[in-house]
């Protein structure tokens, strides 16, 4: 070791997210799961099908807090709500990635060192018990649990500890005095492999193609696949790729998706007004090489963006993967 800290590897982060996706599908949840490295840079993120917009950004924010502040985000939230308002506001101003200081994010610890943070959020990812969920599925060793904290603990392989207040009260409101025997509880038991995430599988395959093409060129990049509105479906940063490539990939993908043309062409189409497009969209868009629209049956269904290497190389990799 040369003393320079490294983030959790992409392979390890993807394995955590895959476990979380399996548990989320078992629980009937839809939302996003993000892993942010100790550097503060995203390592990987995935959105379950029909997860809705916004969840990935919230998950990313909570994962950033857990990774960089090195505490569960429930503890961070407790601290923020006990600080004087100017200090709490100043923290967010100095750390805009921490704009959503919700509970549920957890540090990822390897050999006693925090190397990342993981969190989940989204349409139905919450501490509330979803309609129709079996009581056995939201019981950890016979005790009440909540779905959001359950899938994060399951992903990490650590004992369940609720981060969102009184699990017992939510349990009683849904199930009354029903008790689940420890041997019948499914919360922390292996979940079946997810099989119903077609959009996520499609986006993951595109990211895999980009990573393989970048490796063949000898470059390290970040890749993002977004939906038609520009909200991320899958994001990955190759090991030791520059952190800034994450935002470039996401913003060029969103530009391509929202306007239906390669991100490099926005300046040609909109001229000097291209820079102002960022202020019109709910997500960042970047008029630079690297993003291409994803078209299925003549309809733009999303965008693919690549960042972190020479822009023209990123654009060529994205175009090749999108074919």
Given a cut of 70, the residues of the chain with pLDDT beneath it are: 1
Task: Please tell me the predicted confidence (pLDDT) of residue 152.
Answer: 98
Q: Which residue has 């993002």 as its token pair?
A: 224
CB 191 within 8 A of CB 154: yes
SS3 288: coil
CB 123 within 8 A of CB 171: no
Neighbouring-strand partners of residue 232: 226
Give per-residue pLDDT as tens, 256-275: 999 999 999 998 999 888 88
Task: Please tell me the predicted confidence (pLDDT) of residue 1.
Answer: 53
Give 255's contacts (C-beta < 8 A, 6+ positions apart).
230, 263, 266, 277, 285, 286, 287, 291, 303, 305
Domains of the chain, earliest start first? 10-184 (3.30.450.150), 198-322 (3.30.450.150)
DSSP output for 149-202: HHHHHHHHT------SS-HHHHHHHHHTT----GGG--TTSPPPPP---HHHHH
Task: Please tell me the predicted confidence (pLDDT) of residue 256.
Answer: 97
Give per-residue pLDDT as tens, 76-121: 999 999 999 999 999 999 999 999 999 999 999 999 999 999 999 9
CA atoms within 13 Å, Cβ hemisphere of 148: 30
Instruction: Categorise residue 240: left if φ over 0, alpha if ψ from -120 to 50, beta otherwise.
Output: left
């Amino acid at each position: 070791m040369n003393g320079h800290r490294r983030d959790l590897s992409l392979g390890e982060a993807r394995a955590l997210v895959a476990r979380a996706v399996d548990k989320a599908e078992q629980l009937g949840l839809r939302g996003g799961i993000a892993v942010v490295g100790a550097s503060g840079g995203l390592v990987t993120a995935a959105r379950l099908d029909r997860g809705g917009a916004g969840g990935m950004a919230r998950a990313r924010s909570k994962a950033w807090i857990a990774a960089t502040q090195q505490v569960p985000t429930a503890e961070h939230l407790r601290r923020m709500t006990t600080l004087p308002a100017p200090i709490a506001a100043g923290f967010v101003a100095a750390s805009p990635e921490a704009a959503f200081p919700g509970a549920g994010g957890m540090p990822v610890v390897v050999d006693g060192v925090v190397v990342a943070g993981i969190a989940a959020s989204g349409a139905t990812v919450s501490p509330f018990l979803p309609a129709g969920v079996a009581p056995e599925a939201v019981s950890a060793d016979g005790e009440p649990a909540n779905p959001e904290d359950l899938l994060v603990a399951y992903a990490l392989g650590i004992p369940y500890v609720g981060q969102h207040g009184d699990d017992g009260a939510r349990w009683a409101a849904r199930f009354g005095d029903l008790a689940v025997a420890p041997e019948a509880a499914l919360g922390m038991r292996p979940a079946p492999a997810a099989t119903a995430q077609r959009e996520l599988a499609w986006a993951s395959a595109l990211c895999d193609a980009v990573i393989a093409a970048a490796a063949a060129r000898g470059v390290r990049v970040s890749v993002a696949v977004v939906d038609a509105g520009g909200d991320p479906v899958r994001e990955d940063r190759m090991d030791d790729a520059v952190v800034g490539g994450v935002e470039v990939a996401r913003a060029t993908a969103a530009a391509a998706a929202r306007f239906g043309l390669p991100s490099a062409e926005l300046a040609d189409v909109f001229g000097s007004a291209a820079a102002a497009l960022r202020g019109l969209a709910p997500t960042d868009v970047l008029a630079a090489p690297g993003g291409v629209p994803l078209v299925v049956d003549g309809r733009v269904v999303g965008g693919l963006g690549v960042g972190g290497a020479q822009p023209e190389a990123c654009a060529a990799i994205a175009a090749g993967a999108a074919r």
